[in-house]
Amino acid sequence: MFLPQSDSLDDKQSDVLAAALVNILVVKEEHRIVVKKLDKETLTIGRSSADDILLSSQGVSRCHATIYFSKGATWIIDGDLKGRVSTNGLFVNGARVAVHKLNPCDVIGFHKGVYAFFLSQVDCSIVDDSPEDLIRKLAFFVSGKNTEGTSLDQLILLNQSTQATLVNSEKVPLLDSLTRLQNRESFFARVKKSLEFRQKISPNHNFAVLFIDVDRFKMINDSLGHLIGDEFLIRLARRLSRCMRIGDMVARLGGDEFAILLDNLKSPDEAIEIAKRLQKSIAKPLKIEPHELYPSVSVGIALSSLDYQTVEEIIRDADTAMYHAKNTGRARFVVFDIEMHKKATNLLRLDSDLRRAVDQKQLELYYQPIVSLAQKKLVGFEALLRWNHPDNGLISPEVFIPMAEETNLIYQIGQWVLNEACQQLSRWQANPAIRMPLSVNVNISSKQLTEVHLVDRLVVTVKKYDLTPDMLNIEVTESNLMENTIQSLKLLNQLKQAGFKLGIDDFGTGYSSLSYLNKFSVNSLKVDRSFISQIDKPDNNTSISITKSIITLAHSLGVKVVAEGIESSYHLAWLLQQKCDYGQGFLFSKPIPAAEATRFAERGLDWPWKY
């Protein structure tokens, strides 16, 4: 006979269990109802089990069944632990069983009219409830409804019909085939029960949903292969299960996403404690021959105290919190709060608005002058995108560009920017009042760098407006460049061959390897604003040293330097002294609409700055 191995739970963990939660059997024996706590590792049920659960009905054997606690679960075994079975058999939810892992609301049949309900992780107070109260709560557990006046016998029918609907609707299996954890459907069903229990029966019933995403799983899968990836997920699933208390549910929602329901919490702090324990246990090195892997997970926690109406809402918020955990550096947990909710809904709304923004002409290009510091003249403009939102006013590109990248709208927006900038430049070229040759800088985001036809599209657009590629400076930020160096290298070389000028934006912030600079063969480096803004602070020499070294490095490679964020005459004087080639900043002009930029160019740059 199969006997699950006893698993001595971590002592601390079992203490927590003993204090907060109990497993019970509600036993009905002909006309008697007894509530029995299952607080021992082994309990016998039968006619001579005076110490444990005594049943005196005819048809019940001396040692009819055994309750056995192991592997974090409660099992019931027909007969005794030595393998001797009972005379009349043991039934769970109507089916004969030899060994069965008990689930909440399972109905155990010993003999006609003698049966028990198993409930896991219930509040100790339920043990003292009057039979009527108890049945009312049980009816809720079983059917999800507040069924007044149900008898214990009717509960069995209710339970059977719930099980039957489950079986019927579950043509879809309840377990995830890879990890053998519960799957998304059974997880949602279980959270729904906890939510409804809180809404309809016990407002103090606290629970939490943890949304868990494995950090850098894609990298493991891509670099070590799917077999290792699968094994990795199976082993993580086991680790997650081991951290759970009885009655909690761990599920795999799909891919590298898991979720946990922590039911019956004493306080929100308990959820945080469990999340900490979980991350610690996950983070132990994992050997999958011949590799040693260092797993970590990001966890989002949503607490029932926010009074959710639906399961989808609580899971969505746990997911949002997880996303924040990922964004703040992985291997962390974040508890969802209302501020996050506001931000998330706002972003969601902006996202759908952005789809309309292109068609409804809400996007506009502003232009910021770029100046040759040595020659003291205007050389061109950087095109900077603006979104005139009908309700929210001007929205910063730093808010909506990442959103557009996520939803792939960036391709459409990027093309619009390119067209608009080229058209504007050709107007300036044709304007007799503008005497100096001008170029335009266009920013390209990281997703656009992976676009196969980017160079072709650029060439076609430039031609369409009668321009030559060297009039366009393509700006790519240093961090975007470093995200995908091989791909970027290929693309930048193609751009270069087609005759476009290349600039690295926000230089100094992206940890690029200097050796790459040679390979990328760029025309310019733009020193990030964060350094320039610090150069006039007497006690901050790092920014000065970094800016100086960037200028020296660039010049030794034959690359021009642009300083971004020049706001004062002091900045300007210092940069001139360092032989910085070009500059851009509020000192010269803020980014301005096209018409104003035209006037700026027609006027030419007068140089009033004294230093």
C-alpha torsion angle, residues 120, 125, 131, 133 (rounded to 10): -90
CA distance 60 to 53: 12
Asked if residue 473 binds ligand C2E (CB under 6 A), the reply is: no
In the complex with ligand C2E, which residue's Cβ is closer, 247 or 565?
565
In the complex with ligand C2E, which residue's Cβ is closer, 255 or 593?
593
Site for ligand C2E in 564-583 (CB under 6 A): 564-567
CA distance 591 to 394: 13
Question: How far apart, in Å, are the Cα atoms of 477 and each of 484, 504, 507, 568?
Answer: 12, 5, 7, 24
Answer yes or no: are the C-beta atoms of 183 and 173 closer than 8 Å: yes
Smallest separation (angstroms) from ligand C2E to the CB of 73: 53
CA distance 44 to 32: 19
Q: Name the strands in the sheet holding 21-29, side by side, starting at the edge strand that comes first in the sequence.
A: 32-37, 21-29, 114-123, 107-111, 91-92, 95-96
Q: Which of 396, 408, 541, 549 binds ligand C2E (CB under 6 A)?
A: 396
Question: Which of the stretches 15-23, 55-63, 177-185, 584-592 binds ligand C2E when contact is defined by CB under 6 A?
Answer: 584-592
Residue 521: which H helix or E strand, with range?
Answer: none
218 Cβ contact list (under 8 Å, min separation 6)? 256
Of 608, 466, 587, nearest to 529 by C-alpha is 587
397 binds, among ligand C2E, Mg ion, none (CB under 5 to 8 A by kind): ligand C2E
Site for ligand C2E in 166-185 (CB under 6 A): none
Smallest separation (angstroms) from ligand C2E to the CB of 412: 12
How is 151-170 classified by DSSP, letter by letter?
-HHHHHHHHHHHHHHHHHHT
Residue 442: strand, helix, or coil: strand
Q: Which of 294, 570, 586, 607 binds ligand C2E (CB under 6 A)?
A: 586
Answer yes or no: are the C-beta atoms of 440 and 381 closer than 8 Å: yes
Query: Beta strand pairing status for 65-70 and 91-92?
Result: unpaired
517 binds, among Mg ion, ligand C2E, none (CB under 5 to 8 A by kind): none
Q: Which of 51, 398, 539, 606 binds ligand C2E (CB under 6 A)?
A: 398
Smallest separation (angstroms) from ligand C2E to the CB of 477: 6
Smallest separation (angstroms) from ligand C2E to the CB of 534: 13
Asked if residue 397 binds ligand C2E (CB under 6 A), the reply is: yes
Smallest separation (angstroms) from Mg ion to the CB of 535: 16
x/- string (CB under 5 A) for Mg ion, residues 464-493? -----------x------------------
Smallest separation (angstroms) from ligand C2E to the CB of 521: 21
Residue 432: strand, helix, or coil: coil
Asked if residue 505 binds ligand C2E (CB under 6 A), the reply is: yes
Smallest separation (angstroms) from ligand C2E to the CB of 396: 5
How is 169-182 classified by DSSP, letter by letter?
HTTS-SB-TTT-SB
Site for ligand C2E in 364-383 (CB under 6 A): 368
Answer yes or no: are the C-beta atoms of 212 and 258 closer than 8 Å: yes
Phi, psi (rounded to 5 degrees) for 330: 60, 170
Question: How far apart, in Å, are the Cα atoms of 411 and each of 330, 357, 363?
Answer: 29, 14, 14
Smallest separation (angstroms) from ligand C2E to the CB of 444: 6
x/- string (CB under 6 A) for ligand C2E, residues 411-450? ------x-------------------------xxx-----
Smallest separation (angstroms) from Mg ion to the CB of 405: 15
Site for Mg ion in 544-573 (CB under 5 A): 564
74 Cβ contact list (under 8 Å, min separation 6)? 23, 38, 67, 68, 101, 102, 118, 120, 246
x/- string (CB under 6 A) for ligand C2E, residues 512-551? -----------------x----------------------
Asked if residue 4 binds ligand C2E (CB under 6 A), the reply is: no
What type of residue sits at position 421?
A
Residue 341 per-residue DSSP state: H
CA distance 84 to 64: 9
In the complex with ligand C2E, which residue's Cβ is closer, 311 or 504?
504
Q: Which of 215, 317, 478, 505 binds Mg ion (CB under 5 A)?
A: 505
Smallest separation (angstroms) from ligand C2E to the CB of 368: 6
| Binding-site size, ligand C2E (CB under 6 A) | 23
Q: Which of 176, 263, 353, 506 binds Mg ion (CB under 5 A)?
A: 506
Residue 386 per-residue DSSP state: E
Q: How many CA atoms lie within 13 A of 287 on its CB side?
A: 2
Asked if residue 585 binds ligand C2E (CB under 6 A), the reply is: yes
Residues making contact with Mg ion (CB under 5 A): 443, 475, 505-506, 564
Interface ranges with ligand C2E (CB under 6 A) = 368, 384-385, 396-398, 401, 417, 443-445, 475, 505-506, 529, 564-567, 584-586, 591
